[in-house]
Amino acid sequence: KKCDTPSSISPTCKLSRKKIQINLHCGHCNLAVPVDGWVRSVRAQKANVFLHVNDGSSLQSLQVVASSELSDPLLTFGSAVEVTGILKKSPHQKQPVELDANFIVFCFIFFFLRTFPLKSKSDMALSIFANFLISGDNGFVEINTPIITSNDCEGAGELFQVEPSGPDYADGENFFSVPAYLTVSGQLHLEVVSGAFSKVYTFGPTFRAENSQSRRHLAEFYMVEAEISFTQSLEDLTKVMEDMFRFATEHVLAHCVEDVDLFHKHVTPGQKLKEYLVSFLRITYREAIDILRRSSERFAFPTDWGCDLKTEHEKYLVKHCGNIPVFVTDYPYDLKPFYARDNQDHPERTAAAVDLLVPGVGELCGGSLREERLNLLSARAGLEDVYSWYLDLRRFGSVPHGGFGLGFERYLQCILGVDNIKDVVPFPRFSHSCLL
């Protein structure tokens, strides 16, 4: 709608054809500008209507003041609008400027995502973890590991098979000559290149055909994976995990505090993210089992030595340890994948493996020293057939090494205090859900 009697444009006011972005609007006072965005709230008074319009450039909204005749009774939360008006200094302290509207085009589109921490996600994905790993002190080299692979790194059989489609392949021809899958982890390829660069990392999409509707599983998620050569202790790995978590989270607190506050205000009032930044605790799997068995909590799954820790156990352990991140080390050998190093000096048969458990989520990172001794690796059933190239890495000379993977969406879940992982991505993939 166009106002019949537009607000007076002062002679000093310039008209700009360039749309402004709300997060950059400061300093444009007394300028007639167009703004596009979605209505976040509408408050009507007798003569005027007050809209909060957000254009997706940040979480910040711009207050638009329009005479009632400009507004439309159908204007509501989610409506898309194009508003032209004059940016003026606001009488309210909270917002530096407001837009005195003289023209509103009402596009009437509703756009709804389960959630929208997209800005945080892309900013962080592109920069923080990579910045930490490539920084001078750390010196990791980035490697793009393949998305299509013939290996099942975790050995769990949760694979999506890749096959060509289309008329050229109607007779079921096998494109790669071997069964090929979407990768579940870039680890094995990182292990190959860690024989040339001693510290490597990858950050890419990974896929799991886990038939799970849980609050922390996706079929497609991003993982930051690091591999370090010449290491013989889990401490070398846990130090990188802890420093990386701290670096990323401090960055978020310094630069995206509005996003974090918004989520924490609505989702998990109480605990502050910075409370997670104390020194992480460290317990063994044996100690974890003892804690669980001593507790009065009734768990749905067993807590005997040798049983896998389920989400309920992990969340309990984090709470028990004061709601801060906890490393659990030295899991039973049979619980961990074929690549985990045998702790031969332990009385119970354990692997040099570690999981980092964090508040609200449970497992955020999984890592281990890798078995570099050929005889012990070969003893794992079935490896010779499928992973002969992996055994060759040891056969022709390997050094002690280890690494870990951090699930990026679970990291977002943790720092934003979001209960369901499907709410931290715009297009979550899980069983029976791949429509769009």
Q: Which residues bind ligand 4AD (CB under 6 A)?
A: 153-154, 185, 187, 208, 210, 217-218, 221, 223, 225, 363-367, 403-405, 407, 409-410
Nearer to ligand 4AD, 84 or 238 (CB): 238
Question: What minimum distance in Å lies between the beta carbon of 316 and ligand 4AD?
Answer: 18
Q: Residue 91's Cα: distance from chain center in Å?
A: 39
Distance CA(156)–CA(154), nearest Å, equals 5
Question: What minimum distance in Å lies between the beta carbon of 300 and ligand 4AD?
Answer: 20
Question: What minimum distance in Å lies between the beta carbon of 223 and ligand 4AD?
Answer: 5
Nearer to ligand 4AD, 30 or 198 (CB): 198
Question: What minimum distance in Å lies between the beta carbon of 425 and ligand 4AD?
Answer: 10
Nearer to ligand 4AD, 61 or 413 (CB): 413
Handedness of CA 326, 329, 331, 335 (dihedral sign): positive
Nearer to ligand 4AD, 20 or 226 (CB): 226
Bridge partners, 204 (sequence order): 223
Please report which residue ranges of 279-321 form alpha helices under DSSP H.
Answer: 285-294, 311-320
Question: What minimum distance in Å lies between the beta carbon of 302 and ligand 4AD?
Answer: 21
Nearer to ligand 4AD, 85 or 367 (CB): 367
Nearer to ligand 4AD, 82 or 158 (CB): 158
Cβ contact 335:315 at 8 Å = no
Nearer to ligand 4AD, 330 or 409 (CB): 409
Sheet with 199-207, side-by-side order of all strands = 141-142, 199-207, 220-229, 401-407, 362-369, 353-358, 326-329, 281-284
Distance CA(184)–CA(38), nearest Å, equals 38
Residues with Cβ within 8 Å of 221's Cβ and at least 6 positions away in sequence, in order, are 205, 206, 208, 407, 408, 409, 410, 421
- Grouping H, G, I as helix, E, B as strand and the rest as coil, residue 358 is strand
Nearer to ligand 4AD, 405 or 417 (CB): 405
* CA-based R_g, the chain, Å: 27
Question: What minimum distance in Å lies between the beta carbon of 206 and ligand 4AD?
Answer: 7
Side-chain-side CA neighbours of residue 124 (13 Å): 30
Cβ contact 411:128 at 8 Å = no
Question: What minimum distance in Å lies between the beta carbon of 318 and ligand 4AD?
Answer: 14
Question: What minimum distance in Å lies between the beta carbon of 137 and ligand 4AD?
Answer: 21
- Grouping H, G, I as helix, E, B as strand and the rest as coil, residue 277 is helix
